[in-house]
Structure 1
């Protein structure tokens, strides 16, 4: 029987509700990254003539399926969030899960590559908004004093997706056909809708919020600066990860059936990196960026140097994935210090900006392959992009040197530091949470009045 109130949820019902939310996160994480693992299979199936004539060019063309999903996230993150501002959260999250289900079904059924690309774009539209609503609902489910724990547990779906989901789906896609991977993801979203309906109590539609209020964030010039830096300065990881399946086989000399193992190493690196990021974000995002980005360059040098050694390549992928995933929450914190009161839309913008970087990284890698430079050159390109990203980020930090240098400087104290999640109070009186997902995603949200009251904060 569906619960009717958040106040009367039993521990078992709370766990069930968080599990329902996490299933959706698992589906999203799997949907976003599995395309990279099955890219060669998509190219062989839908671009057979190009694959026979020039495999590298065909793989580069297939990369548009990855870019299309990322562009869908970019477009959908702010627009869907704004369109859903007046819809009750339980209803909204089920509608978003339905959209993700439809996108996955379309991706699995498109007969030609020209139709798969728009299908992947549609699949990405609900992505960013789902994360924001999921975090808010997780906070509601756990109640005052435990909201950070709820957000972190709900986002565990992303961790499981990168550690288990993507490698397994890649293996299924290799053995049973790439369409199988998308069908399984569609099944996950169907299960998510059912569980969300059974587990999440109903709510009234939010009051006192409007799209106009959220759009006020875009009046902040330095917020735009951070967004642009995220878009153009963090393409390196995606240039490498977008073609990881082919780089694994063609450069490292690893059997294609072991691609899931490399993906699992990348997922493990992302998970470790996000755990570290939670602590660094609370310490100082600015100082952390000055430390982490040079280390990121060194990790790429290690990967490039060891690229032809199977064991060394796996170690390099783990290290690059770990250091890359640290940067997203740090950039999220920097964005929040320049967003004013519109933290919800700023969070969606952060997620959209990193997906612009995703699209550009895959696109740049495609240009290298189309030029006939080979998959090994993709790693060199990614290393160069990492260096460029460090330069533009340091330049931005210098421009913003008179701004807020520490996310905790906005707050009397940091609360609920659980699983790398911090809930902070800004100087405007708003509450926000920063939580890192396994794929580098971060979620920021405004806390409700009950949370404020439970901590007896002075206005």
Structure 2
């Protein structure tokens, strides 16, 4: 803010009036403003990562509070994921002509609203609706944030800039989720969602101050964005993401019960297990980026095959805390390693529909989130034990390997 003097025709002292400094265009922004904007976008990713993953660790508290069964409680995971699946393509396409700065602020505002509604929920159906609303801006936010970051950054630094924003998500699994777990256990599960709302508000403040008018981001259209759905390779890539990630989410949904009931870990130590898992996801993000730079198709196959092996090993180790923690962490490593190759493959086959393609990657991940939680609920509800989602997830991962091979062969044959 700056204070300017307003001249008066009378002899009275000049009256002061506050004016907001004009928002610069993208071409006028300096390095400091760019850094603050990227930090704010990473903070928004941190909020989304925290709200997405913290629900899994809070399920026992939520189930006890509302008097529902374990498999019923897991449907709040599916509700959030459904919001992402619906919101990612819908918001990305329908807001194609909306200025990107305004859109990203609106999306963060929806994150605040959805999480505050979760805090205020007094019944399980209301919580389901609140989690759906909280999930609506998820995919579109990542899509706009990633493309805006690439547009703001010098060409030679775009890769590092994108990795920096994604780090907000992976750091959330190391810091945000364990913090929310501790708050949930000591202050009630409502407190965890309240923290997310506060984080999103801080991100809004940072972007309000630092994000410029994105004048170099080309406008799109609904027709142009929806053309992505006519591409067979895009559909195959999304199926790989859904089946590949589902195994990881099937286990993550029930990890608190697995570690406390099967392995005998005191519930007060779950924050440490989630923190270690978050470290595995961060390492997997780094590994996945290298695999994508090396060979996208082979990177996909190696990641999802290794994930299947880790899921099987986890199933046979659930009675012991240390082996279970090791293999659970490896599930995070290989699950996250899948993400960069999926993103690159989607963008390579999306043509001009880059915004929607970037959002669809989040749709695939959260379809897997919903599907993994549902599959886990089915096998647990059938009385097969809390470790059984790992075997069901391994089957899904094997299906993903087959899809990877089919997609790669079709791509090679069409290129001839």
Fold equivalence (TM over 0.5): yes
Residue 306 of structure 1: how far off its partner (Å) = 2.1
Question: What are the residue-to-residue correspondences of 1:206-245 with 2, within 5 Å?
Answer: 208-245=219-256
2:100 aligned with 1:100, yes or no?
no
* Further displaced range: 66-75 or 249-258: 249-258
Change (3 A) 1:154 1:235: closer
Cross-structure match for 2:65: 45
Cross-structure match for 2:33: 13
Which one has a bigger Cα radius of gyration? 2
Normalized per residue, the structure richer in helix is 2
State the superposition RMSD in angstroms. 2.1
1:154 aligns to what SS in structure 2? Answer: helix
Distance across 1 between alignment mates of 2:346 and 2:150? 22
For the 8 Å contact 1:141–1:150, the answer to whether it is kept is no
Cross-structure match for 1:54: none
Please give the per-residue CA displacement for 1:198-228, whole angstroms capped at 9, x wherever unaligned: 1112345965421111111222123223323
Residue number among 174, 179, 184 corresponding to 2:185 in the alignment: 174
Cross-structure match for 2:43: 23
Residue number among 258, 272, 277 corresponding to 1:247 in the alignment: 258
Cross-structure match for 2:123: 112
Distance across 2 between alignment mates of 1:324 and 1:300? 10
- Give the TM-score normalised by structure 1: 0.81
For the 8 Å contact 2:104–2:145, the answer to whether it is kept is yes
Residue 339 of structure 1: how far off its partner (Å) = 2.2
Residue 90 of structure 1: how far off its partner (Å) = 1.1
Cross-structure match for 2:305: 294
Distance across 2 between alignment mates of 1:382 and 1:247? 15
1:86 aligns to what SS in structure 2? Answer: coil
Change (3 A) 1:280 1:237: same
Change (3 A) 1:144 1:311: same
Cross-structure match for 1:148: 159
Structure 1, unaligned stretches of length 5 or more?
51-57, 406-459
Change (3 A) 1:208 1:22: closer
For the 8 Å contact 1:87–1:206, the answer to whether it is kept is no
For the 8 Å contact 1:81–1:345, the answer to whether it is kept is yes
Cross-structure match for 2:363: 352
1:18 aligns to what SS in structure 2? Answer: helix
Cross-structure match for 2:207: 196
2:173 aligned with 1:162, yes or no?
yes
Structure 2, unaligned stretches of length 5 or more?
2-20
Distance across 2 between alignment mates of 1:293 and 1:191? 36
Cross-structure match for 1:370: 381
Distance across 1 between alignment mates of 2:169 and 2:327? 22
Residue 266 of structure 1: how far off its partner (Å) = 1.1
Cross-structure match for 2:12: none
Please give the per-residue CA displacement for 1:154-177, whole angstroms capped at 9, x wherever unaligned: 222112211110111111111110
Distance across 2 between alignment mates of 1:179 and 1:316? 30
Residue 138 of structure 1: how far off its partner (Å) = 2.2
2:141 aligns to what SS in structure 1? Answer: helix
1:357 aligns to what SS in structure 2? Answer: helix
Change (3 A) 1:320 1:233: closer
Change (3 A) 1:215 1:109: same
1:402 aligns to what SS in structure 2? Answer: helix
